[in-house]
Chain A
């Protein structure tokens, strides 16, 4: 029987696109009908529609689907394991004593925003390259400092992402594909370098982290026989109500629980060990950077696959939001203006105090957690200013722009749906749905720190540029 004659057999199951009243008429006749939340693809821009059309040619689409399947397979199959901690100068590729890594796409000193400048000058003082922040600013402007994005050194950096030679880094190895990713340690409290604060208390804390906290973690992990399977721990944390970007209560508990047997075996004094435990307990954020390195480690293994339209990086430097796409290998960035983060502020601060979206932490959303896994963390719906249902809605909506679900990392509330994985540039452009990112808000001026948390979308321009480049490159 032909498909047409099959259709004649019963009431139609309709997908309605456009005029909504048609849906109501159909429903009133007892027909099943889905009304699409439709917007013109590529915001109606003919150039983008032509690019989409080009990539939808039968032969091309097959290549892309195959490449994307491979990319997502690599993301999902990656098994990132925390194998140690060490100073950046000892492990990060390309690191020198005068190199400072920062968050987001490349940026020069003169263009950096307040918090990032604050963090850079603080790091210069911390490294002993200048006696105070004024001198540090001069040094930074002199060209004597090499600035480079974390992402271009297998690293990620939270907020300003400022990483200098003697800071201690997580070392995360991808047991499946062999690549390694790094990120520095959480400074915990709100008045911290990564938020642009740089007074003496901040420098003192960095020194303590360099001399006590970092070395103790390093020594502890040397004692660990296998390393810590971060993917497994991440899956547990999600089941315990974290989304592992803005809520890290469970993840931090799991991580310190795994580290403790080895921390107590190190040669540090009991006093110092207590300091370390108190420090970890002082903020839930301790495991935040860990998940970023985990995500980075998985995504790097999926970067550089020919014809793939899967996004492997989303990162912001406080001025620009940049993405990298698997099919555009190396350090090809597509950027648009960094956006304002919308969300509740700490008492006494107003939206106009906030700096623009900043940090490499959107790597978590690129992996499929954070805002993408909001349904796992109903406790933080206040960030979206809405209901639990709306939070759940974000997770299901992200399925519309991703390639697959990650069966290793699941959301109980959604019948153990895997987190949406593999953001596809084509889908973002054709649906107009932007990835949703949970993030912190830093004060726009240096030296103040975190003043709130909320959600943000990337600028559509970054994806539009990527779309056009992909259409050029894939044949």
Chain B
């Protein structure tokens, strides 16, 4: 059991309100016991007697209001406080008009006819039904839920296609519509580049790089990871390209995905061929020749895709800071590493970021293992143990079971980080930190103590531990890019300026004999 306290200085509530707050606070899920009381010496004594006294409480004055929460874990305690504060607010604003509540998509859509988009983030077993309701009510859909059957996905996308609606997802976590970030997306400039993406973090990365190059986004349409599989047939990507082609504000289109199934790739390439607008294609590990033959602009990596897009959209390439790799730094790190420190360990919260770094490594090494390796031979044998060069996507189902996504909950990755940091065969650990809407409020901060500790530990053992950190985000994001980067630098972490550079730096640090 954990106990945490919050002190609200000089706060007076009448006793009746206090009682009702206290009752409601005790009903909050996960809360074992919640106490709201004035900070008198005697009340502190009561708390001391029952083991609830914390240092903060000891400091409280008689005019302060003490809120104590006892729960299974510190996280549960922390989660409870905002909810309790919410209760306080409710009391204060109860004079205002009560907000109308709706229980079904149909009733909400009918009562508020301006509604035009539904975000569906419920258990996969119910998600298809809700999405269907939304489409029937002429709402575009972004479906964050996963575990939806392929049959349902096809049915929903077909219905959406017939009705001329977007059906983003299932398993679509990122979109930007009308300059509004939906679910997991970054705050980027408005511009003239449209993105259609089957990959969430991939599209986040491209949008952020475009922003950094001074460009901007019209729309970012997510399709869900399975859209380009044979069975689904790329319905959403084809409709997305079509919509962006018809969108006056969009000058350049960027496609982001893993390589599509062959039959789908054909359809997409045919679409590119007839498209009147330039199309930049970043299919991670995709085939340059086919894409170029179809009139597309091939990009091998994320930054390259963004660069091509902004140049096609009218930027002067010679004036852009392309953030080339820091060669002297590479030399320096190489000399610090011992011959035993051979391997890269990539620990990622973003799947495409993991994929991109892994592909960079695969160009130079053939002993690269991952939980998302396409070749079964290079799949990790045991998800808890790394093999030679290892890249782990912690967003993959097998690592998230029963837990939130690593972009929200860093705990699983944090444990693994400490494990890798102790491995003397590790030369470099590369990690991504995703900020923006939906993401953890301070992802670097959550790793900061561990990174400092790991560095010290390695030093004590006489080896240099190289950590590369990449922060995916912009200065406009709620968490603030600069603050996150500064934290990395403070911990002695090498900051990579892009996903692409993070992958390349990691590889170059441990490549031998060039």
Interface residues of A (CB under 8 A from B): 1-19, 21-22, 25-26, 28-32, 34, 36-41, 44, 49, 52-53, 387, 389, 392-393, 396-397, 399-400, 427, 430-433
Q: Evaluate contact between B116 and A13: CB separation under 8 angstroms.
A: yes
Q: Complex Cα distance A41/B130, Å?
A: 10
Tell me, rounded to whole Å, the shortest Cβ–Cβ distance linking A412 to chain B: 16
Cα A32 to Cα B178 in complex, Å, equals 12
> Within the complex, which residue of B102, B187, B478 is in contact with A37, where a contact is CB–CB below 8 Å?
B102
Can you show 26 pairs from A to B with CB atoms below 8 A apart? A3-B138, A3-B163, A5-B247, A7-B166, A8-B218, A11-B179, A13-B112, A13-B116, A14-B115, A15-B117, A16-B119, A22-B121, A25-B438, A34-B112, A34-B115, A36-B102, A36-B104, A38-B104, A39-B103, A40-B125, A49-B126, A52-B129, A393-B101, A397-B103, A432-B103, A433-B103
Contact between B98 and A2, CB atoms less than 8 A apart = no
Number of interface residues of B (CB under 8 A): 54
B243 touches A5 (CB 8 A): yes
A7 to B138, CA, bound (A): 11
**Cβ A8 vs Cβ B117 within 8 A:** no
Residues of B close to A430: CB separation below 8 A: 104
Give the docked Cα–Cα distance between A2 and B239 (Å). Answer: 11
A2: min CB distance to chain B, Å = 5
Please tell me if B27 contacts chain A, counting CB pairs below 8 Å: no
The interface residues of chain A lying within 8 Å CB-to-CB of B105 are 15, 17, 36
Is A400 a contact of B102 with CB atoms below 8 Å?
yes
Contact present for A12 and B108 (CB under 8 Å)? no
Are A12 and B183 CB-contacts (below 8 A) given A4-B164, A396-B100? Answer: no
User: In this assembly, does B114 line the interface, its C-beta being within 8 Å of a C-beta of chain A?
Assistant: yes
**Closest approach, in angstroms, between the C-beta of B183 and any C-beta of chain A?**
6
Report which residue of B100, B126, B166 has the largest number of chain A beta carbons within 10 angstroms of its beta carbon: B126
Contact of B178 with A7 in the complex, beta carbons under 8 Å = yes
* In the complex, chain A residues whose CB is within 8 Å of the CB of B116: 6-7, 12-13
Residues in A with CB closer than 8 Å to B139 are: 15
Instruction: Name B96's closest neighbour in chain A (CB-CB).
Output: A389
Interface pair A8/B247, CB less than 8 Å apart = yes
Tell me whether B140 and A3 are in contact (CB under 8 A).
yes
> In residues 117-142 of chain B, which contact A (Cβ within 8 Å)?
117-123, 125-126, 129-130, 134, 138-140
Contact at A5–B103, with CB atoms within 8 Å? Answer: no
B187, closest chain A residue (CB):
A29
Contact A15 B144, CB 8 Å, known A4-B166, A26-B180: no
Residues of A within 8 Å of B349, CB to CB, are none
- Is B437 in the interface zone, CB < 8 Å from A? yes
User: Is there contact, CB below 8 Å, between A11 and B178?
Assistant: yes
Whole-angstrom distance between the alpha carbons of A394 and B179 in the complex?
37
CB distance from B218 to the nearest CB of A (A): 7
Residue of B98, B179, B246 near A5 (CB, 8 A) is B246
Beyond A5-B243, A11-B179, is A22–B103 a contact (Cβ under 8 Å)? no
B177 at the interface (CB under 8 A from A): yes
Minimum CB–CB distance for B393 against chain A, Å:
21
With A15-B109, A25-B437, A40-B123 known to touch, is A400 a contact of B103 (CB < 8 Å)? yes
Asked if B104 contacts A12 (CB within 8 A), the reply is no
CA–CA, A28 to B478, complex, Å? 10
- The residues of B that contact A14 with a CB separation of less than 8 Å are 115, 117-119, 182
A25 to B101, CA, bound (A): 19
Task: Tell me the smallest distance from the CB of A415 to a CB of chain B, in Å.
Answer: 12
Q: B257 near A: Cβ within 8 Å?
A: no
Given contacts A36-B103, A41-B129, A431-B104, contact A8 B178 (CB under 8 A): yes
Interface hub of A6, A19, A49 (most chain B Cβ within 10 A): A19
For A387, the closest partner residue in chain B by CB is B94
Q: CB of B238 within 8 A of chain A?
A: no
Determine the chain B residues whose CB is within 8 A of the CB of A9 once the complex forms.
178
Give the residues in chain B near A6, CB-CB below 8 Å.
Answer: 116
Against A, the Cβ 8 Å flags (1 = close, 0 = not) of B213-225 are: 0000011000000
Provided the pairs A19-B121, A36-B105, A40-B123 are in contact, do residues A10 and B138 lie with their beta carbons within 8 angstroms?
Answer: no
Q: Does the CB pair A13–B115 fall under 8 Å?
A: yes
Q: Mark B140-164, 1 if CB is under 8 A from A, else 0.
A: 1000110000000000000000011
Given contacts A8-B243, A12-B182, A14-B182, 16 further A-B pairs with CB under 8 A are: A2-B243, A3-B138, A4-B166, A5-B247, A7-B166, A11-B179, A13-B117, A14-B117, A15-B117, A17-B105, A22-B183, A25-B437, A34-B112, A38-B103, A44-B126, A49-B129
Interface residues of B in 242-271 (CB under 8 A from A): 243, 246-247, 249
| Residue pair A18, B101 in contact (C-beta under 8 Å) | no
Interface pair B120/A17, CB less than 8 Å apart: yes
Smallest beta-carbon distance B94→chain A, Å: 7
Could you say which residues of chain B place their CB within 8 Å of the CB of A13? 112, 114-117
